[in-house]
C-alpha cells in the first residue's frame, strides 16, 4: 500500500468508527439499526491482501463492539464481510474485468455497479448482523432487517455519492 493510500484508509477507519460509535449509536428508531462502518470494507482497495483486509475488518468491528457493547458481534460480521468481498466482487465483475489499481467507486465503475455492490455487501452484512443479534427468524426480524438494510444502505450510498473516492 502506498503512503497516500495508507493514510486515506487510516483516516477512513477512524472516521467511520467515530461516526458509528459517537453519532449513530444514539440514533434510536426501535426497529432500525443504522450501520455505516461496513463502508470501510466496501472501499478497501481491490488488491489488498486478504489477511490485511481481515485484520482491519476485525479491528474496526472490535472498535464498534466497544462503542455498542455488543461483545464481538460486529467483529465477527465484519470479518465475514471482508471474507465475502472478493466473491461478491467476482460475481458483479464488469465484462472488461477490473484494471490493476482500480478503485471500487462510482467514478471508476459507474453508478449502477456501485449500487449493486453496496446492496449485496450491505445485504450480506445486515443478514449476518441481524441473525447473530436476534438468533431467530420471525416477522419482526424480517421487518427489522429490511428497514435497517434500506436506511444503512442509503447512508453508505450517500457517502459514496457525496464524496469523491480517491486512492
- Under the banding of pLDDT at 50, 70 and 90, the label for residue 1 is low
The string of pLDDT tens digits covering residues 131-146 is 888 776 677 778 878 8
> Structure pTM?
0.85
Query: Looking at residue 86, what is its pLDDT?
Result: 94
The mean per-residue pLDDT over the stretch 16-37 comes to 81
Question: Over 50-108, what HEC string results?
Answer: HHHHHHHHHHHHHHHHHHHCCCCHHHHHHHHHHHHHHHHHHHCCCCCCCCCCCCCCHHH
Contacts of 45 by beta carbon, 8 Å cutoff, 6+ apart: 1, 5, 9, 101, 103, 104
The mean pLDDT value of the chain amounts to: 86
Query: Looking at residue 11, what is its pLDDT?
Result: 84
Query: Looking at residue 136, what is its pLDDT?
Result: 66
Domain boundaries of the chain, sorted by first residue: 3-162
Amino acid at each position: 500500500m502506498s503512503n497516500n493510500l495508507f493514510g486515506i484508509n487510516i483516516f477512513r477507519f477512524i472516521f467511520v468508527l467515530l461516526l458509528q460509535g459517537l453519532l449513530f449509536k444514539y440514533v434510536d428508531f426501535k426497529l432500525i439499526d443504522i450501520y455505516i462502518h461496513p463502508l470501510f470494507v466496501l472501499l478497501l482497495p481491490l488488491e489488498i491482501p486478504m489477511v490485511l483486509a481481515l485484520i482491519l475488518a476485525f479491528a474496526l468491528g472490535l472498535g464498534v463492539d466497544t462503542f455498542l457493547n455488543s461483545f464481538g458481534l460486529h467483529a465477527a460480521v465484519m470479518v465475514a464481510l471482508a471474507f465475502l468481498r472478493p466473491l461478491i466482487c467476482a460475481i458483479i465483475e464488469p465484462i472488461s474485468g477490473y484494471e490493476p489499481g482500480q478503485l471500487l467507486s462510482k467514478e471508476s465503475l459507474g453508478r449502477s455497479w456501485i449500487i449493486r455492490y453496496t446492496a449485496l455487501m450491505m445485504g450480506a452484512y445486515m443478514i449476518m448482523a441481524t441473525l447473530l443479534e436476534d438468533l431467530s427468524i420471525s416477522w419482526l426480524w424480517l421487518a427489522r432487517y429490511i428497514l435497517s438494510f434500506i436506511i444503512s444502505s442509503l447512508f453508505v450510498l450517500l457517502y459514496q455519492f457525496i464524496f469523491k473516492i480517491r486512492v
